[in-house]
Amino acid sequence: MYSLRRIVAIVNCSGDKTLYKWFFAGAAAVIIPLLLVYLIKNKRYKFFYFAYKTFNRDIRAAKYFLQMNVQLGKWNRKKKTLPKLFEEIVKEYPNKIAFYFEDEQWTFTQLDQFSNQIANHFKEKGYKKGDIVALMLENRPEYVGIWLGLSKLGILTALINTNLTEDSLTHCVNISEAKVLIHGGLYETVINNIKEKLKVQHIYQFNEEISKTSILNGSLNLMQEIQSASKTELPETLLGEPQDKLFYIYTSGTTGLPKAAVLTNLRFMYITCGMHIFGCFDVYDIIYTPLPLYHTAGGIMGIGQTLIYGNSMALRKKFSASNYWADCKKYNCTIAQYIGEMCRYILIAYKEETPIDHPVKIMFGNGLRPQIWKKFVETFKIEKVFEFYGATEGNSNLMNIDNKEGAVGFVPRLSMGLYPVSLIKSDEATGEPLRNTKELCIECKIGEPGLFIGRIDVNRTIRNFTGYADKNATQKKIITDVFKKGDAYFNTGDLLVQDEMGYFYFKDRTGDTFRWKGENVATTEIEAVITNYIQLKDSIVYGVVVPGTEGRAGMVTIVDPDGTLSRENLYASLKKNLPLYAIPVFLRIAKSMDLTGTFKIKKKDLQDEGFDVNRIHDKLYIIDAKNSTYSPLTNEIYENIINGKLRL
């Protein structure tokens, strides 16, 4: 029998074009039906269907991705740093407004001169590249000017969460190994309480009034100290490298003490550049942010648009739901930021009879709940929402660029090799990756929830993981021998799920999922059901330890200051939508809940308190299936549970 190659050779040699055409027509008539049968039999046709459906989206994403990489490569080759790029912006827009703040307006020249005063002062005091300064200050233009000025010397700034007190504040300042602490006058008392525990050499206090004499004992008045400092540029600014460390940003601390993530100049530029290009921002856009500047969303993704691209920005000291749209109108903002539960609070504050009057067309951030997504954009007439996903220190970032409701982002399925993120199977209770007989990780199928990870490549900015100040904490976030021996991936600690169109949806955080009655319980699934019932009230689900019982019992805390929550209706809604083992055993009705600076509920504190009637002053209830409600958790019932007399 002739081989296919031999047959083609004979046809070619014959010179008969008709025979040539007939041959390939016959081959196609055989091959195409066989291919179709194969695709249908193996359900591979869906792949091509969804590739067709997402073609325009993926081409657009590929274009943006290429632009971003070209830009980062150019900056890297030219040894650009954030201070160098900022100097270029100052020269291009010297008199343009950089920041609107309350009734103040800061031009790029003013911001540059203030940052130079900071740099020159600390240079005169003997501080140099590699030194660390801790900064604890509310949102204001001087906040940016301080760390920007320090960066011109190559000094790292540890951006301290302004909500911290006592041990957690002491921990964050000391683990940074800062030589200096700069704090605002608003935090004078909390700093005074821990002053003796701090390892810093000097403390500076910032006050709006330069002449203020009431200042923390032993501290230096920052504004007085820099008054005589030069406003001219330093030669050190030109000596920086893209890989130089810029500052520390701390994790939110929802599950323990915060960790200090290392941010380099190039990492700052990458995050800013990605948001600018994928969000299609224009230099004439004015951006509004009430987000804390000590975290990535406000402090890099937002502020970076000003420092690197020349966008004007309106700052607010602290988020106010009732003033959100008023501020946007006042400063004529076309883009606004959100994070965490902000959008829900804005909806709560909105009165239906109030006309929608603001110029905002685009919003970007993370944490917009799927349950309120549609209502929010329709109520406030928002044209585009850019929801993103990613950890400050991580290399597994996603963005939703086409208003896909509820999605945290996507990766075209044909380009997973170019952007190597994956979902792997893990133990839902412990979060540990599951492995096959070859001791390698197991990739999830489409629609199967899994641990979201990203491959680490130290030679590429967007794939690298620079870690934390604490090396032990860094190692805990790295998984090795994932798909082949010797590889390494960043562990996000989050459970996501991907659909056939490449969209990712947040499911849960490892550690939030717990086992009860031999089943894995996902807290976010329960929270979704509860949210649909209680609408815009705060709520959170978590597992609590019950002595003598395997696993953790579910518990939900709901904020209900008015006492309008119906326990019977809540139970009915849970029973209708959840399996019995997933219905929370305990219910806590609170008047308020503590939030982090990024509007996340402090779950660990609630878990530690559990259902202890002796520690908790809020009203506590226990599931009462017999009466289809939640009944009061009395001291007697509590003691019987603790002593094992009452089994759950």
Q: What is the pLDDT of residue 310?
A: 97
The dihedral formed by the CA atoms of 282, 285, 288 and 291, expressed in degrees to the nearest 10: 10
- 370: tokens are 């799927």
Of 29-38, 58-67, 489-498, the poorest mean pLDDT is in: 29-38
- 154: tokens are 């190559």
- Work out the pLDDT band at 214, boundaries 50, 70, 90: low
pLDDT tens sequence across 357-407: 999 999 999 989 888 899 999 999 999 999 999 877 778 889 999 999 999
3-state class of 454 per DSSP? strand
Q: What is the pLDDT of residue 370?
A: 87
Q: What is the pLDDT of residue 569?
A: 92
Of 517 and 576, the one with more pLDDT: 576
Q: What is the mean pLDDT of the chain?
A: 87
Q: What is the pLDDT of residue 484?
A: 92
CB burial of residue 56 (10 Å; 0-12, 13-18, 19+)? exposed
Mean pLDDT for the stretch of residues 276-283: 95
Q: What is the largest CA-CA distance in the chain?
A: 102
Could you tell me how many residues make up the chain?
648
Mean pLDDT for the stretch of residues 43-72: 84
- 159: tokens are 């951006």
Q: How many angstroms separate the CA atoms of 132 and 299, rounded?
A: 18
pLDDT tens sequence across 429-454: 677 899 999 999 999 999 999 999 98
- Work out the pLDDT band at 282, boundaries 50, 70, 90: very high
Mean pLDDT for the stretch of residues 193-206: 93
CA atoms lying within 13 Å on the CB side of residue 602: 16
Q: What is the pLDDT of residue 11?
A: 47
CB 295 within 8 A of CB 261: no
- Work out the pLDDT band at 562, boundaries 50, 70, 90: confident
With a cut of 80, say whether residue 548 has pLDDT above it: no
- Work out the pLDDT band at 22, boundaries 50, 70, 90: low
pLDDT tens sequence across 237-275: 888 999 999 999 987 655 557 788 899 999 999 999 999
Q: How many angstroms separate the CA atoms of 367 and 177, rounded?
A: 32
The dihedral formed by the CA atoms of 122, 128, 129 and 133, expressed in degrees to the nearest 10: -50
pLDDT tens sequence across 589-615: 998 887 776 667 777 788 889 999 999
- Work out the pLDDT band at 1, boundaries 50, 70, 90: very low
Mean pLDDT for the stretch of residues 30-35: 61
pLDDT tens sequence across 59-70: 999 899 999 999
For the chain, give the percent of residues with pLDDT over 90: 57
- Work out the pLDDT band at 92, boundaries 50, 70, 90: very high
Contacts with 553 (C-beta within 8 Å, 6 or more apart), sequence order:
516, 543, 544, 546, 584, 585, 586, 611, 648
Strand intervals (E) in 290-383: 312-315, 335-339, 362-366
CB 456 within 8 A of CB 395: yes
- Work out the pLDDT band at 211, boundaries 50, 70, 90: low
Of 40 and 104, the one with more pLDDT: 104
- Work out the pLDDT band at 219, boundaries 50, 70, 90: confident
Question: Kindly report the CA angle at 619 between 615 and 623, in degrees rounded to 5?
Answer: 105
Q: What is the pLDDT of residue 36?
A: 57
- 153: tokens are 């010397």
Helix and strand counts by DSSP (H, E) for the chain: 21, 28
Q: What is the pLDDT of residue 284?
A: 95
> The tokens 């400050």 sit on which residue?
392
With a cut of 60, say whether residue 479 has pLDDT above it: yes
Pairing state between β 286-289 and 245-250: unpaired
Q: 133 has which bridge partners?
A: 157, 180
With a cut of 90, say whether residue 149 has pLDDT above it: yes
pTM over 0.85: no
Q: Give the residue extent of every domain in the chain.
A: 4-42, 512-642
CA-wise closest residue to 174 among 132, 123, 211, 227? 132
CA-wise closest residue to 141 among 97, 90, 171, 93? 97
Cα of 644 vs its chain's centroid, Å: 42
Q: How many angstroms separate the CA atoms of 373 and 127, rounded?
A: 48
Distances (CA, A) of 605 to 255, 257, 624, 625: 8, 12, 26, 28
Mean pLDDT for the stretch of residues 507-518: 73
With a cut of 60, say whether residue 12 has pLDDT above it: no
Q: What is the pLDDT of residue 470?
A: 77
Q: What is the pLDDT of residue 258?
A: 79
With a cut of 70, say whether residue 514 has pLDDT above it: yes
The CATH class of 512-642 is: alpha beta
CB 170 within 8 A of CB 194: yes
Q: What is the pLDDT of residue 21?
A: 61
Q: What is the pLDDT of residue 40?
A: 60
Q: What is the pLDDT of residue 394?
A: 77
Element (H, E) at 284: none
Of 216 and 347, the one with more pLDDT: 347
Q: How many angstroms separate the CA atoms of 83 and 336, rounded?
A: 25
- Work out the pLDDT band at 566, boundaries 50, 70, 90: very high
